[in-house]
Every structure is written in structure tokens, then in C-alpha cells.
């Protein structure tokens, strides 16, 4: 009698295996949801494929983006439109490097530096930037320190470097004064809730001078630090690995 009871309560091995698989799948689902929620609201890695921010960001830089810099977002809320903020959002500051959805195609991520905030008047002429009627002062810096970050597709002979102080940020821009034409823009006033952005590589950057302002809803976060640098062997760019870029603050 007891043997019959034991056999009737024994667990079918196939059912036990199925339950184990279900538990494993649930565990992986929880892990994936948690990781992507963290990426959505806290920190996110991004890759720099172009040279528009040289010499600040080198081609092949992998950067860490602080998604909380301008407010705490509801996880996953920015997947299909503007994010929902659970805290009072704050605007990016002049000089911040931001990652944002390209205004003409939200599926593409861009990385640029904020030059003008809402209400600012910005004018760019011959690589000189005027902010609210005042020239942003620059001073030349040694070429040798930065030129190795530029590959052969750039006119290395004509490139010069200038140190810029914008707000609390001090950074270096690249300008090619040998070019007959520079990308200019007449004085414009930055709309409410929008930002005027530029690349540090002034003559090799498509930015607000071309396609206009960046809406705040497109901003994903602020670039913090370079955590790796490599151009893949199968990339259109020449392969390189620059471990000394690791830890570069932005």
C-alpha cells in the first residue's frame, strides 16, 4: 500500500525537466529586463564611429553616457518617443557633450557638444563662434599633442588646434583655416526646449549649423568618460587600438 502511494506521488522526470527549463528562462528574462532597465535609466555605452568630435573624442572611442544627468527617466520610456521623467528634468549646460537622437531620424544617435541653450543667440563665421553677441575667445595650442588622432582622410597640414573655455568646460577644437569655405550660420536664437550643438572638429562636422536645434526630448544623456578604444578590422576606418584613451574624461 505504501509503495503504491510513493509511486503515485513520484514526479515525472519530463515534467521536472520542463519546470527547470521554465525557471532558467524566467531567471534570464529577469536579468535581461534588469540590465536593459539599468541601461535605459542609469548608464549606457556608446561607440564613436566618426571624427566630428576630434580631438576630444577619437574615432573608435567607446564612451559611457550618464542617462541621469538631466533627470531620472522611467525605464524604457524613451524607446518609442520622448522619455518620461520621474524627477524634475534639468537642461544640459553649455560645453556638455550630449548623446541624442538625430532630429531628422530618431533611430540614429549623434554625439555633439552643446554651444547654445534656450534663449541664447548663436552666430558662427569663419570658425569663430559668437554667443549672445560676444566672441568665444580661443587660444592656439600645440599641434603635436593631438594630430596623431587624425587619419589620412583629414588635411593634417592645414589643421590647427584651439583651446576654448565655454561655461565650466575647457576643451580643444580643431579648425582647418586653409579651407576656402567654412560652415557658417547667421545669428539665430535657440528655441525654448532646444539646444544648438557643434562638433569640436569644426570643419568636419554636420551639426546645428546644417540641420538645426536638438529638442530636449531627443537627449539621452551626457558623455562622461572613454572606457575603451578600438576600430574593428571590418570597419570602413583603418583598424587601430588605443588603450591609452581608456579613462579619458569628457
Evaluate whether 200 touches 54 at the Cβ level (below 8 Å): yes
Give residue 87's Cα distance to chain centre: 22
Q: Which one of 40, 41, 73, 112 is the catalytic residue? A: 112
Nearest to 175 by CA among 127, 208, 223: 127
Under 8 Å between Cβ of 227 and 177? no
- List strands edge to edge, sheet with 138-141: 138-141, 159-166, 169-176
Nearest to 203 by CA among 85, 124, 89: 124
Confirm whether 39 is a catalytic residue: no
Residue 52 is a catalytic residue: yes
Angstrom distance (rounded) from CA 175 to CA 46: 25
CB 30 within 8 A of CB 37: no
Alpha carbon distance 230, 59 (integer Å): 8
Three-class secondary structure of residue 229 per DSSP:
strand
Q: How far apart are CA 162 and CA 137, in angstroms?
A: 9
Cα–Cα distance, 21 to 25 (Å, whole number): 6
149: its cell numbers: 588622432
| Catalytic residue chosen out of the listed positions 41, 52, 69, 208 | 52
> Hey, which residues are catalytic here?
52, 112
Amino acid at each position: 500500500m505504501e509503495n503504491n502511494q510513493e509511486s503515485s506521488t513520484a514526479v515525472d522526470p519530463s515534467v521536472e525537466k520542463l519546470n527547470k527549463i521554465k525557471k532558467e528562462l524566467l531567471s534570464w528574462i529577469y536579468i535581461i529586463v534588469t540590465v536593459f532597465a539599468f541601461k535605459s535609466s542609469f548608464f549606457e555605452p556608446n561607440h564613436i564611429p566618426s571624427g566630428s568630435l576630434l580631438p576630444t573624442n577619437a574615432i573608435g572611442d567607446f564612451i559611457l553616457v550618464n542617462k541621469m544627468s538631466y533627470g531620472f527617466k522611467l525605464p524604457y520610456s524613451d524607446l518609442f518617443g520622448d522619455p518620461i521623467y520621474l524627477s524634475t528634468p534639468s537642461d544640459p549646460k553649455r560645453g556638455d557633450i550630449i548623446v541624442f537622437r538625430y532630429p531628422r531620424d530618431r533611430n540614429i544617435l549623434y554625439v555633439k557638444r552643446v554651444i547654445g541653450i534656450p534663449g541664447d543667440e548663436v552666430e558662427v563665421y569663419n570658425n569663430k563662434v559668437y554667443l549672445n553677441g560676444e566672441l568665444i575667445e580661443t587660444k592656439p595650442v600645440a599641434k603635436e599633442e593631438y594630430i596623431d588622432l587624425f587619419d589620412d582622410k583629414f588635411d593634417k597640414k592645414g589643421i590647427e588646434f584651439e583651446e576654448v573655455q565655454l561655461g565650466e568646460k575647457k576643451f580643444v577644437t580643431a579648425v582647418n583655416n586653409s579651407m576656402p569655405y567654412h560652415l557658417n550660420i547667421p545669428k539665430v536664437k535657440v528655441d525654448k526646449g532646444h539646444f544648438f550643438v557643434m562638433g569640436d572638429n569644426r570643419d568636419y562636422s554636420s551639426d546645428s549649423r546644417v540641420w538645426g536645434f536638438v529638442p530636449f526630448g531627443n537627449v539621452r544623456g551626457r558623455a562622461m568618460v572613454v572606457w575603451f578604444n578600438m576600430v574593428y578590422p571590418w570597419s570602413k576606418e583603418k583598424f587601430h587600438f588605443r588603450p591609452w584613451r581608456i579613462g579619458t574624461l569628457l
